[in-house]
Amino acid sequence: MASTLPLLLASLGGPFDAIHLPPDASESGWRIDDMIQSTTVFVSILFVLMVIWMVWSVVKHGPMHQALFDHGADSKSWRWTALVAALIFVVVDGDLLYHSTTFMHGVFFDFAGAEKKPGAVRVEINAHQWAWNARYAGPDGKFNTPDDIVVLNELVVPQGAPVIFQVTSTDVIHGFNVPSMRMKVDAIPGTVTRMWFQPKDTGVFEIICAQHCGANHYKMRGTVTVLPRAEFDRWARVTSVNAARAYDPKDVEAHWGWDWAEHSRLE
C-alpha cells in the first residue's frame, strides 16, 4: 500500500504532482516513486517548519534581546526533545522504514517468485569498459551454448513478463541502471549480482552506467526495447537461429556465459 500523505498531496496537483523523474515503465516502479515522493514531502514539511521557527524567533526577540545560555538539561527541555524526536521517528522514519522493507523483501528481492511467473526471461549481463554484453539462453534453455542470443548495448525484452538479470563485470565496478524501470545494481568483478523488473509499457528506454568506471564512462550507454510478447518471441526465434549459424567454437572470448545459478560467486 502506498503512503497516504504523498498521494493525497499529489492528487491536489502542484509541485507534488510530478518531480521530473524519467517515465515509469515498470509494474513496480510506483513503489520507488512513492518512496522518493514520501521523502520529498516529509523533508519539505520539516524544512518549512524550521524556517517558520527561525523567522518567528528573529521577529519575536529583535536586535535588543539579551541571549541567555541554557544547557537544556531540565525536564521540560527533555520532554519536548523526546516528543519531537518520537514524532519524527514514528511519522517519518516509521513510514519510510515500513514501506522500504515491505517493498524490498516482498517484491524487489523476490527472485524466486519472479522466475516462476509465466514467460519470465533470464538475461546475463557482462559489463566491461565501456559497454554492456547481454546473453539470453536459446531454445535449449541453457546458457553458453550455440543457440544463445548475444547482443551488445541493445537489450530486447517482452512486455508484461518479469525480466531477471544476473550481472557481473570483467574489469572494474559498473552500475547497471535502467532509470525508467526504477532498478539499478552494481556489476562487480568476480561476483554475480541480481535484479529484476517487469515492463508494463512498450518503447525504448535508456541504460546508463551509474558508477564512474573510467575515462569513457559517459559513453557506457545502451537501450532496453520492450516489445509485445508475440514480437519478442519472433525476435528471439530469429536471433537465436542467426546466432547458431554464426557460432564459432574456437572463439573462446565469446563464450563468457555462466550456468544460471543461485550463488553469487563466479566459479
Is 210 or 71 the better-scoring residue by pLDDT? 210
The Cα diameter of the chain in Å comes to: 88
Q: Which range (34-43, 113-122, 131-140) has the least confidence?
A: 34-43
Rounded to an integer, the average pLDDT of 143-169 is 95
Structural domains present in the chain: 4-61+73-108 (no CATH), 118-254 (2.60.40.420)
pLDDT of residue 2: 46
pLDDT tens digits along 216-249: 999 999 999 999 999 999 999 999 999 888 888 8
Task: Return the C-alpha torsion angle 82, 86, 87, 88, nearest 10.
Answer: 100
pLDDT tens digits along 123-147: 999 999 999 999 999 998 899 899 9
Is 87 or 212 the better-scoring residue by pLDDT? 212
Given a cut of 50, is residue 255 above it in pLDDT?
Answer: yes
pLDDT tens digits along 63-88: 777 777 777 777 877 888 888 888 77
